[in-house]
Structure formats: C-alpha cells, structure tokens
C-alpha cells in the first residue's frame, strides 16, 4: 500500500472513557399492540398469549395497572409491559417469548442502535 502521508490513528475503543459506555438504552416503541388486540387478531394464538402474559405478570410489580403489549424479537412473539403510558412508550426489560407450541423462559430485552436502510 502506498504511503499517502496522512496519519490515520487506529481506534482504541477499550481505552476510551465515555459516559455513553455505562448508560443502558431504554426500550422505546412508538406504537403499542396490546395483548387484547393481538388475541382478537390471532385467535389461534390466544391461549398461548394469555399464558405468556400470566407468566410475565408473576414477575411484574404492580401488575394490576400495567399495559401488556406484543412485540416481535428475533422472529418470536413476546409479551412485554409498558413502564409508562406516554408516547414514545418505554418497555420494561423483561419479556416472555412464545409461539404455537410453548412459552419460553423469560428473557431480557436489549435495544441496540442500527442504521435505517433507505433503498
């Protein structure tokens, strides 16, 4: 490779101290799809959705006033619950994935930045 005379430093991310490294991202969504709406739209999954909601409800504090929603994570339908009732909505970190056959163990929800593709 030819020497262009331009110095390009190699990033040393592990040595950079950034306030962003210690922050956890909040799990925002713009629109909600409640469990009740999902059950009406998908009667074949109604029983599993209710079971997953009840499973998550056992780990949710103040579960009487909570709104449970459906999100999709890595191809799985998941029950999540809202931390607040204002848009953009914030989801709690715990979710209950399910499909036609089973309810999966509770999982943590992590939000990662990604590029939006314009094609």
The answer to whether the beta carbons of residues 91 and 105 sit under 8 Å apart is no
The answer to whether the beta carbons of residues 16 and 9 sit under 8 Å apart is no
Would residue 103 count as lying in a domain? yes
What pLDDT is recorded for position 22? 39
User: Which is more confidently placed, 83 or 61?
Assistant: 83
Q: How many domains does the chain fold into? A: 1
Would residue 23 count as lying in a domain? no
Q: What average pLDDT score do residues 5-19 get?
A: 40
What pLDDT is recorded for position 86? 85
Would residue 66 count as lying in a domain? yes
What pLDDT is recorded for position 25? 54
pLDDT tens digits for 24-44?
A: 556 777 789 999 999 999 999
The strand pairing partners of 17, in sequence order, are none
Would residue 69 count as lying in a domain? yes
For residue 38, the enclosing domain spans 28-108
Hey, what are 111's tokens?
Answer: 């939000």
What pLDDT is recorded for position 15? 38
Would residue 50 count as lying in a domain? yes
């Amino acid at each position: 490779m030819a020497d262009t005379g331009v110095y390009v430093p190699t990033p040393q991310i592990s040595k950079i101290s950034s306030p962003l490294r210690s922050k956890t991202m909040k799990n925002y969504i713009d629109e909600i799809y409640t469990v009740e709406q999902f059950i009406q739209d998908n009667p074949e999954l109604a029983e599993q959705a209710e079971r997953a909601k009840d499973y998550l409800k056992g780990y949710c504090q103040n579960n009487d006033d909570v709104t449970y929603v459906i999100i999709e994570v890595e191809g799985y339908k998941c029950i999540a619950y809202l931390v607040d009732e204002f848009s953009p909505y914030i989801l709690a970190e715990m979710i209950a994935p399910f499909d036609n056959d089973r309810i999966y163990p509770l999982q943590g929800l992590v939000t990662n930045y990604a590029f939006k593709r314009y094609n």
